[in-house]
Structure 1
């Protein structure tokens, strides 16, 4: 009886610890979620966005450069806006997290050119999710719903 109780408590502590250390941005690595309705995470994401993203993507997510869909003379696309006029919401959460973590060139591959570096050595996955959660929180409800549908279609 005592051994069973001790084993049960130990198992609970181990499982509880695993849940505690698991990234808060996802319960399933194949279908990560973004904290776009969590006020604390949105506030954190807004600060991180200002520090790491706004110089290229605009203080208000509006983009900094005109013609963001046209390559420049060197073959690079300008940084897109992250508001609803951009294409961020066209991509599922897992891809967005990978783009921020690894950089666009690493994701697309081939001869694709991008100035978007990977931030995986600078930001944790939780911080990346907070930034993306902040971005998503600014989109109109209809765009959020479409983005949620995109995420629901992603196969594990």
Structure 2
């Protein structure tokens, strides 16, 4: 039983489950992230990361920001994995609509959510993710 636990722990923390910035995520991480995304993110960022429809500025409350798309139609992919995970865990100062999930989910769960988000992106977008987006498009 002891060896089994060590194998499970090693597999659970295996770096192969997490993609680096610009790399296609592991299917196991994507699968783990799908349910987390549905629970914590989908109500605002919508199914398949399409985001909310913009609200005309003349009826929006001050400081109200619609949830941006997380698919490749917006700029989420301009950020590194670390930046996106930081936003998931710490929220955004400029809007209360993006809460800090730290203490509710773990960093590993945030990584799984990111893997699911990256599954929306094409290989071309993945290749340009993060700082490379300025020079490869």
Could you say what the CA RMSD is over the residues aligned between the two structures, in angstroms?
3.2
Deviations 1:88-119 (A, max 9, x none): 101111111111001111xxxxxx33410011
Distance (Å, rounded) in 2 between the aligned partners of 1:70 and 1:87 = 21
TM-score when normalising by structure 2: 0.74
Unaligned runs of 5+ in 1: 1-15, 27-31, 106-111, 152-156
Asked if 1:50 is matched to 2:38, the reply is yes
The structure whose Rg is larger is 1
Distance (Å, rounded) in 2 between the aligned partners of 1:68 and 1:25 = 40
**What's the offset of the Cα at 1:86?**
1.8
- Matched with 1:33 is 20
Asked which structure has the greater RCO (Cα within 8 Å, sep 6+), the reply is 2
- Matched with 1:123 is 105
- Matched with 1:77 is 65
- Matched with 1:12 is none
Distance (Å, rounded) in 2 between the aligned partners of 1:120 and 1:24 = 22
**What's the offset of the Cα at 1:134?**
1.0
**What's the offset of the Cα at 1:53?**
0.4
Is the alpha carbon distance of 1:104 and 1:148 closer, same or farther for their aligned partners in structure 2, counting shifts above 3 Å?
Answer: closer
Alignment of 1:5-154 (within 5 A): 20=10, 24=14, 33=20, 36-63=24-51, 65-67=52-54, 72-105=60-93, 112-147=94-129, 150=132
**What's the offset of the Cα at 1:51?**
0.8
Unaligned runs of 5+ in 2: 1-5
**What's the offset of the Cα at 1:148?**
5.8
- Matched with 1:108 is none
8 A contact 1:102–1:119 mirrored in 2: yes
Is the alpha carbon distance of 1:137 and 1:45 closer, same or farther for their aligned partners in structure 2, counting shifts above 3 Å?
Answer: same
- Matched with 2:3 is none
